[in-house]
Structure 1
Amino acid sequence: MALFTITEACTGCGLCVAACPASLVRQAAPGETPTALEGREAHCIRCGHCAIACPTGAFVHELLPAEEFAPIRRKDLPDFAAVRHLLDSRRSCRTFDPAPVPRQELLSLIDAVRHAPTGHNTRDVGYVVVDGPARMDVARQGVLDWIAGEVGAKTERARELHLAGAARAAGKGKDVIFRGAPHVVVAHAPDGGITPALDAAIACAWLEIAAAAAGYGACWCGYLIFALDAHRPLGEMLGIPQGRKGYAALLLGRRAARPLAIPPRDMPPVTFF
């Protein structure tokens, strides 16, 4: 099967050739109709960049049906100032309304980040949503069990993360693990993936911004991330599929109180090479 076909609307501009990250679209000379590199169809990462680069719609990808492409509504895109304000106003939330978020709303947030970039366009990030107080209690106890083990063994990680203090606070009834959030979302990816940790982190970063735009609070759950890395049975208990690992975790829910201002942040150091 040919990887793509070119209709007579093609002008030979070569934009599809330049757009293909795997160099599977070739053009013998400027102005000529592009052709597929023979025998390399399996190398296509299905990013669709070749098709969307064509200004005349002449490029038809056999693996990506044309009807599944959505038009870009440029009038609906926020300007830079609006995006900058959203990013600046994002704050980690550590005081949550305990009421759970409806599952459909959680699914809507995750659906909104399905275009988050992944290494080699593998798009192989999955999610486990810990849903409801009883399940959060189970997950919390799993993290506390890991903390107790680290503290008991007097590990370097226990010292670095002040885990003994966290254990004491938890023993007094303070939820230092989940901060009263009704949900935690774990992003998981294959152990043997190309860039699994980065893919999961990017996905959660996008999810945090999407949550902020939708009016929800979110916070990176460091204790759970560390525990998932060090104690594989915790991931299995949460339902992370075999062969995959939880690399990022985000507390999620409605804020108990909305921030009213943006605190100052220094400009990071920048050098030009």
Structure 2
Amino acid sequence: MIDFKIDEDKCISCGLCAQDCPVGIIEMTPNPSIRKSKEKQCLKCQHCLAICPTAALSILGKKPEDSLSSKGELPTYESMTRLIKTRRSIRKYTHEDIDPELIQELLETTAYAPTGHNYNSVHFTLIDKREELEIFRDKVYEAIKKAGEAKTLLPQFQFLYAIQKVWENNGVDVIFRYAPHLLIASAPKKNSSPFPDCLIALSYFELLANSRDIGTLWNGMLTWVLNDIDPAISELIGIPIDYTVGYGLVFGKSAVSYPRAIQSEGLSLNKVKMDKN
């Protein structure tokens, strides 16, 4: 039941909702409607709710008056360009923790990120307390040590054993970089695109975080541990066994600043021209 409702006093029968429906299940009779037999085809994308010019349409129990208006200030092209070009991977963090309310706001906005087939089921695992992240860090390094000693590490992950030794012998944290917070994105394996969905969501989170002067670092080494070395650690922090770990991201207040952007090595682009024959 998708709970498709039309306020007939507001509806002007413009047909925009029917025209914009990705699966074409909205009919004009003359007001918009969806047959019961077609409700299962609904993607739950809410395009119909978003496009209605008179706020006459409700769906899935969601009312237009509860939606954020698209009218208002947006980032300029120049400001977005500057944010993207000056973004850096941060490997040194202060001892300052990020306000939990701000983290919650960032995550709630990140939940708007697009997903394949509109499944909208990316799962976020957050460790926001430094002492808890330290406990988790120890378990990750221990998992690498066990795999290294048992000689079960795949060739491409052998370097992680050396990094574990650096941690054990010298107390140098190469994997987590002493960051105060960790975010992991995962998604159901049954979804059509669980891995890309996670990457898209974390990319949204990173840009939002950077806009609030929060440094981030994509944590590939942790992701390899969770997916390939010891998946049991994922279950330890509540990631369902039938979920794919897309990626991990550490974040916090940067202890360094970069006065300028780097200079890109250049764009790799193939402009395709198709022959009609």
Superposition TM-score, scaled by structure 1 size: 0.87
TM-superposed CA distance for 1:4, in Å, is 3.3
* 2:24 maps to 1:23: yes
Please give the secondary structure, in 1, of the residue aligned with 2:37: coil
**What is the identity, as a one-letter code, of the residue corresponding to 2:262?**
P
Q: Which runs of 4+ in 1 moved over 4 A?
A: 8-12, 153-156
Structure 1 residue 185 displacement after superposition: 0.8
The match for 2:68 is 70
CA distance in 1, matches of 2:111, 2:179: 23
Deviation by residue 1:178-203 (Cα, 9 ceiling, x = unmatched): 00101111122223233222222111
Q: Which runs of 5+ in 2 are unaligned?
A: none
Q: Which runs of 5+ in 1 are unaligned?
A: none
Determine which of 112, 116, 125 is the counterpart of 2:113: 116
State the alpha-carbon separation in 2 of the partners of residues 84 and 270 from structure 1: 22
1:113 Cα shift? Answer: 1.2
Residues 9 and 132 of structure 1: CA distance in aligned 2, closer, same or farther (over 3 Å): closer
Query: Structure 1: how far apart are the matches of 2:124 and 2:146?
Result: 27
Task: Measure, in 2, the Cα distance between the counterparts of 1:272 and 1:63.
Answer: 44
Q: Distance in 2 between matches of 1:158 and 1:8?
A: 67
- How far, CA to CA, are the matches of 1:190 and 1:212 in structure 2? 28
Cα deviation, 1:131-170, whole Å, max 9, x if unaligned, reads 3332122221222123224433545634456223312322
Identify if the C-alpha distance between structure 1 residues 59 and 104 changes in structure 2 by more than 3 Å, giving closer, same or farther: closer
Determine if the alignment matches structure 1 residue 168 to structure 2 residue 165.
yes
Correspondence for 1:43? 41
SS at structure 2 position matched to 1:117: coil
CA contact (8 A) 1:93 1:255 kept: yes
Contact 1:228 1:247 in 2 (8 A): no
Instruction: Give the stretch that moved more between structures: 168-177 or 60-69.
Output: 60-69
Of stretches 145-154 and 229-238 in structure 1, the one that deviates more from structure 2 is: 145-154
Matches within 5 A, 1:147-162: 147-154=144-151, 157-160=154-157, 162=159
Give the length in aligned residue pairs.
269
Contact between 1:150 and 1:158, CA under 8 Å: does it hold in 2? no
Q: Which amino acid aligns with 1:267?
A: L
Corresponding residue for residue 248 of structure 2: 249
Residues 221 and 182 from structure 1, CA distance in 2 versus in 1: closer, same or farther, beyond 3 angstroms? Answer: same
Is contact 2:6–2:32 with CA below 8 Å preserved after alignment? Answer: no
Partners of 2:272 and 2:7 lie apart in 1 by 42
